Amino acid sequence: MRALDRGESFVVTRNGVPVGELAPLHRRRFVSAESAVARFRGAPPIDATRFREDVDEIVDQRPRPRA
């Protein structure tokens, strides 16, 4: 566990055959609202109508009754 805390990963084997990997979890970093806004400040504006058309083209959003 201490090695995982230090960022080390391990290959888990069964009879010498690799069957998995034990790795540290990626910690989520807090990003302030100000930082996020600054990051996207130079991004192009989003055309809401075109965005919706693109989503509708890819995702079927018609509700269906559950069987």
Please report which confidence band the pLDDT of residue 62 belongs to, taking 50, 70 and 90 as the band edges.
confident
Range of the domain at 35: 2-58
Q: Is residue 64 part of a domain?
A: no
Q: Domain count of the chain?
A: 1
Q: Does pLDDT of 67 surpass 80?
A: no
Per the DSSP assignment, residues forming a β-bridge with 10 are 22
pLDDT at 60: 83
Q: Is residue 65 part of a domain?
A: no
pLDDT at 19: 96
Geometric angle at alpha carbon 59, from 57 and 64, rounded to 5°: 120
Q: Which residue has the higher pLDDT, 35 or 62?
A: 35
Instruction: Return the sign of the alpha-carbon dihedral for residues 35, 41, 43, 44.
Output: positive
What are 12-59's pLDDT values in tens digits?
Answer: 999 999 999 999 998 788 899 999 999 999 999 999 999 999 999 998
